[in-house]
Amino acid sequence: MSTQKEKAAQFKSLHIQGNPVILFNIWDAGSAKAVTDSGAKALATGSAPVAMANGFPDGEKFPLDDALATVSRILNATDLPLTMDLEGGYNTAPSGVAGSIEKAMATGIIGFNFEDQIVGGSGLYSIDEQVERLKAARTAADANGVQGFLNARTDIFLKAKPDAHTDEMVDDAIERAKAYEQAGADGFFAPGMVDKAQIEKLISAVNLPVNLIVLPHTPSQEEFSALGAARVSYGPTPYRRMISWLKEAASAAHLGTGES
């Protein structure tokens, strides 16, 4: 069995531009086992599916200790590297962020997403503010020698409708990516991007491996790969599709039209 440090290094090596690591996001030990059996090389929780599977809305409404308990159960069910969606670090202050990440890394995860939107507020942290939070996150991720993969997420594109994405927003994302790299990020996550020219511009300008997310209105996994993504995730989509099927099947059963 590989150590946490070995798994972290293995996970980092999977980030290859044009041949991305695929993260079909999970929410509990059962979904972890299913995705592991599908041939996955690594696993990732999504904050939204983890919260929704436990009856909570997204946005750090599911208590951190409960989220970490879920992660611990997942780690007991699989030996694959596991990265966690830590949203905004469950704190605004750098010191608080560091405390959350230290607790998360202690479970055995090998990395985490860390976003720049103000959870529970509006807008994004300024670049300077987020850099300080990232520095604290980096220190916490390295505290036990594991060198956890810090995936720095920007919510620039999720905060606007797809048809309102502009080249100026891409320029802002590039500026953030470069600042986040200097602060110690290992990857740059830009969920919500849909325009292929804008995606290509971002990837060509950023040194960090870029993570994109497949949503119903975005390019496909194959298209993201062709554009140079190094990491492709699926966010809440797998959970939502499963719940949609569950509702339909349950409705059919209660109407007496379900399969016996």
Burial label, 207 (beta-carbon count in 10 A; 0-12, 13-18, 19+): exposed
Q: Is 26 helix (H, G, I), strand (E, B) or coil?
A: strand
| Listed residue (244, 212, 215) closest to 228, CA to CA | 212
The whole-number pLDDT of residue 1 equals 74
Specify the residue for token string 């999970």: 26
Instruction: Tell how far CA 86 is from the center of its chain.
Output: 8
* pLDDT one digit per residue (tens) for the chain, 260 residues: 789 999 999 999 999 999 999 999 999 999 999 999 999 999 999 999 999 999 999 999 999 999 999 999 999 999 999 999 999 999 999 999 999 999 999 999 999 999 999 998 889 999 999 999 999 999 999 988 999 999 999 999 999 999 999 999 999 999 999 999 999 999 999 999 999 999 999 999 999 999 999 999 999 999 999 999 999 999 999 999 999 999 999 999 999 876 65
The whole-number pLDDT of residue 77 equals 96
Q: Which ranges of 183-234 would DSSP assign to H, the alpha helix?
A: 196-205, 221-227
Specify the residue for token string 């990516």: 177
Q: What is the DSSP letter of 48?
A: H
The whole-number pLDDT of residue 259 equals 63
Q: Which domains does the chain have, with CATH numbers?
A: 4-254 (3.20.20.60)
Cα 50 from Cα 236, distance rounded (Å): 9
Strand order in the sheet with 210-213: 21-23, 231-233, 210-213, 187-189, 149-153, 111-115, 82-85, 43-44
The whole-number pLDDT of residue 256 equals 84
